[in-house]
């Protein structure tokens, strides 16, 4: 297919215009990218200089006292209730373990059981099946943790007059 000179000239002109438009678009996209980079950098500065300090001040003013109080109560519950109870359970379990080891060593050495005379004629005691010492410790720790979380949530969500913001409509900042 052969094209006339006039068509070839028009096609070259159209191709030149298309190339010029493409170059202009590339420059425009480059400028838009640099504007977007600068906007991101300025947004980072704004976050560091304005937003972050305000959020930290708001947290310190409103939430930190309740979080600290919740932590103190949780520590007190753990130190005054959970640890002593768990220590008693662990101590009882260790004494039972020691007694079992002592009985096993007497049986292994051939000395037999050292039972009181009143126990000699009694019927064998059925083996008790139920929750073990580990289960008791887990339940106590779980209940204490749940109580601490509930108390902290209650302290955070209870109604205090000084925590509520007035229902005034927001107005635009002065420029």
Q: What is the pLDDT of residues 24-60, one digit of tens each?
A: 999 999 999 999 999 999 999 999 999 999 989 988 8
Q: Domain count of the chain?
A: 1
User: What span, in angstroms and rounded, lies between the C-alpha atoms of 151 and 142?
Assistant: 14
User: What span, in angstroms and rounded, lies between the C-alpha atoms of 103 and 114?
Assistant: 8
Q: How much of the chain, in percent, has pLDDT values that exceed 90?
A: 33
51, part of any domain: yes
122, part of any domain: no
Q: What's the CA angle centered on 38, arms 35 and 40, to 5 degrees?
A: 110
User: What span, in angstroms and rounded, lies between the C-alpha atoms of 114 and 125?
Assistant: 16
Cα maximum dimension of the chain: 129
- Summarize the confidence of residues 52-71 as an average pLDDT: 89
Q: CB–CB of 155/92 below 8 Å? A: no
3, part of any domain: no
Residue 147 reports pLDDT greater than 90? yes
Query: Containing domain of residue 146, as a range?
Result: 10-109+132-156
50, part of any domain: yes
| pLDDT, tens digit (0-9, with 9 covering 90-100), for 109-136 | 766 666 666 655 555 667 777 777 888 8
Q: CB–CB of 3/11 below 8 Å? A: yes
Handedness of CA 37, 49, 63, 161 (dihedral sign): negative
89, part of any domain: yes
Looking at the chain, the number of H-run helices and the number of E-run strands are 6, 0
Looking at residue 117, what is its pLDDT? Answer: 60
Q: What's the CA angle centered on 142, arms 138 and 144, to 5 degrees?
A: 120
173, part of any domain: no
Give the containing element (helix H, strand E) for 35. helix 5-46
- Summarize the confidence of residues 93-99 as an average pLDDT: 86
* 0.75 exceeded by pTM: no
């Amino acid at each position: 297919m052969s094209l006339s000179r006039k068509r070839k000239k028009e096609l070259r002109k159209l191709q030149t215009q298309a190339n010029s438009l493409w170059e202009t678009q590339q420059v425009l996209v480059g400028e838009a990218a640099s504007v977007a980079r600068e906007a991101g950098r300025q947004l980072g500065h704004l976050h560091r200089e304005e937003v972050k300090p305000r959020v930290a001040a708001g947290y310190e003013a409103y939430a930190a006292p309740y979080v600290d109080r919740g932590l103190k109560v949780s520590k007190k519950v753990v130190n005054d209730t959970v640890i002593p109870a768990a220590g008693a359970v662990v101590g009882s379990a260790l004494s039972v373990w020691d007694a079992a080891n002592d009985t096993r060593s007497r049986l292994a050495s051939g000395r037999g059981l050292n039972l009181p005379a009143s126990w000699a004629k009694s019927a064998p005691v059925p083996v008790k099946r139920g929750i073990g010492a580990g289960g008791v410790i887990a339940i106590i720790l779980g209940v204490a943790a749940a109580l601490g979380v509930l108390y902290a949530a209650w302290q955070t969500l209870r109604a205090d007059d000084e925590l509520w913001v007035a229902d005034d409509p927001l107005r635009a900042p002065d420029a």
